[in-house]
Structure 1
């Protein structure tokens, strides 16, 4: 857990550290660095393609993703599968369904799970982290006690392996797409909570906070109107990185059979699970959804890392 918390705490320090640098504002300079970053351009391009395919996939899919139009041509028990051909660019699955259509339509469900799960983690985590950071910043015995209680709960969640925690939650709630969203979202909560709290504490020692106190501005107004909004930079960066993790963990839960109970509905994790039985005879059935998951997660990771570097004062020229 120490490595995970160290990375979170380091990211929380970035916003406060940039306050002391002169020149352009934090976000203007970060945007300038992102525009010249090959890693950011590649990541953003991958994400753009993925989002476009997820949005228009059902309309450009050549066939229905659930229709077994070529069932009579596929015999899994005999090891007879249909590979890429003119009518089916990526071949057929074990039930005679068009692989390309299932990949295109499945991209939307994969994106939906990742975005909703990240929003759950971001919203609840930011709420807990904001309350904890504000309570500690405002001072007083009650604030320290509230912060201690909230952070001990967060530390216990961080101590558990993320996938194990997600599987446990999904097993308790039952098999459904909503369960996957909740399970993956809960895993993200402690990361956002600790990150926002650390960022708020780092902002507490900034020059503008000291100047506001010297002018007699109430501490509550400083925390809510200035410290909290200025602490959201690292949290936004983490949200981009969390999307990659959410997509991978959602696919893992679907692979384990904890996702959508309707196996006919295409989703990359479900497709990967269905293909494992036929990997020896038709390995490409597993390769296609696996590549989709890997490349999409890579896009969010590259963009998130580029944003983190753009905000890091130690990496600035």
Structure 2
């Protein structure tokens, strides 16, 4: 009798457990995995600090980043260092280095986000058309896919920094030029990634079922294949933000960024500091650390998201 009761209790527990089980979406499951990832939490912490500093910092800095208050204290072989009033000292023009570093975070974030959005938008457009054409189209679709991918292959054949420098040199120095140049460099990455994801999704059972029901190919591509192919693209956008910040800093370092030094940007600050490394190495160390730590935050978060969304890499 007790054995039967035990069996009934176990069956009741299993039934209750099944009732408590709920199906979760891919993004919900990925979010749970990201929350349990130490590297993702570190990356998010870095990015939260960076974004807060970039948004709020310019209103909280103690001095104007363009005010040359200490110019009379700067000598050919001497630049005043940190003090109680100026935490990171002056730069070579007598401006408060801490204020310039904080305000420069906004420009760096702006360049990274806009350039990534440019690459994502144009790349997703090219990759979406190519993926839909290759996965669902006949002879014309394959021809469209082939032409678009050959253009993308030509862009991929060029080193990214060389391509960005070439575009920036053609358009002239400026912050907008840097955004466009870095954005164009990331276009083929997004295009290739989305196209590959859509081609893989085109062979899924739900596409076959929709085709059998008579749903138009265009509707299948836009309403079903495209949304299910965006996960790797979003992850790549997070990783590209880190690369965009580094490449934008490199262009500014080469003198192709904003020529107006009154508006600070970390790459431009590095470029200006190279002449004073023997006098004040801190002028280069602090903006370099800002670029490195910010890029690390985006990379850690992006890698954690990639592992959470990729079944082969899930732990």
Q: Quick check: TM above 0.5?
A: yes
Task: Determine the structure 2 residue equivalent to 1:3.
Answer: none
CA distance in 1, matches of 2:218, 2:169: 42
Task: Determine the structure 2 residue equivalent to 1:293.
Answer: 291
Task: Determine the structure 1 residue equivalent to 2:122.
Answer: 124
Correspondence 1:26 to 2:58: no
Could you tell me how far 1:224 is from its partner in structure 2?
Answer: 1.3
Task: Determine the structure 1 residue equivalent to 2:145.
Answer: 147
- Using the size of structure 1 for normalisation, the TM-score is 0.91
CA distance in 2, matches of 1:66, 1:39: 37
Asked if the contact 2:112/2:245 (under 8 Å) is kept, the reply is yes
CA offsets, 1:107-155, max 9 Å, x none? 1111111111001000000000001111112221111111101000101
Correspondence 1:65 to 2:65: yes
CA distance in 2, matches of 1:316, 1:253: 37
Correspondence 1:193 to 2:156: no
CA offsets, 1:228-276, max 9 Å, x none? 1111111100000010011000010001110112122211001000100
Range with greater deviation from structure 2 (183-192 or 216-225): 216-225
Report SS of the residue matched to 2:263: coil
Task: Determine the structure 2 residue equivalent to 1:274.
Answer: 272
Task: Determine the structure 2 residue equivalent to 1:16.
Answer: none
CA distance in 2, matches of 1:103, 1:96: 14
CA offsets, 1:58-77, max 9 Å, x none? 111110001010111111x2
Q: Which residue, out of 214, 217, 227, partners 1:216? A: 214
Task: Determine the structure 1 residue equivalent to 2:230.
Answer: 232
Task: Determine the structure 2 residue equivalent to 1:46.
Answer: 46
CA distance in 2, matches of 1:218, 1:144: 18
CA distance in 1, matches of 2:211, 2:221: 11
Task: Determine the structure 2 residue equivalent to 1:10.
Answer: none
Q: Which residue, out of 163, 166, 169, partners 1:168? A: 166
User: Which residues in structure 2 correspond to 1:231-270 (within 5 Å)?
Assistant: 231-270=229-268
CA distance in 2, matches of 1:216, 1:173: 49
Could you tell me how far 1:23 is from its partner in structure 2?
Answer: 5.7
Could you tell me how far 1:280 is from its partner in structure 2?
Answer: 1.1
Structure 1, gaps ≥5 residues long: 1-21
CA distance in 2, matches of 1:285, 1:198: 44
Could you tell me how far 1:281 is from its partner in structure 2?
Answer: 1.4
Asked if the contact 2:136/2:202 (under 8 Å) is kept, the reply is no
Task: Determine the structure 2 residue equivalent to 1:17.
Answer: none
CA offsets, 1:190-232, max 9 Å, x none? 0001111001011112222222223332322211110011111
CA offsets, 1:62-106, max 9 Å, x none? 10001010111111x2x2121111000111111111100000111
CA distance in 2, matches of 1:161, 1:208: 39
The count of corresponding residues between Structure 1 and Structure 2 is 294
Structure 2, gaps ≥5 residues long: 1-21
Range with greater deviation from structure 2 (131-140 or 275-284): 131-140
CA distance in 2, matches of 1:138, 1:209: 10
CA distance in 2, matches of 1:316, 1:121: 28
CA distance in 2, matches of 1:295, 1:270: 17
Q: Which residue, out of 82, 88, 91, partners 2:89? A: 91
Structure 1 segments of 4+ aligned residues over 6 angstroms from their partners = none
CA distance in 2, matches of 1:219, 1:131: 13
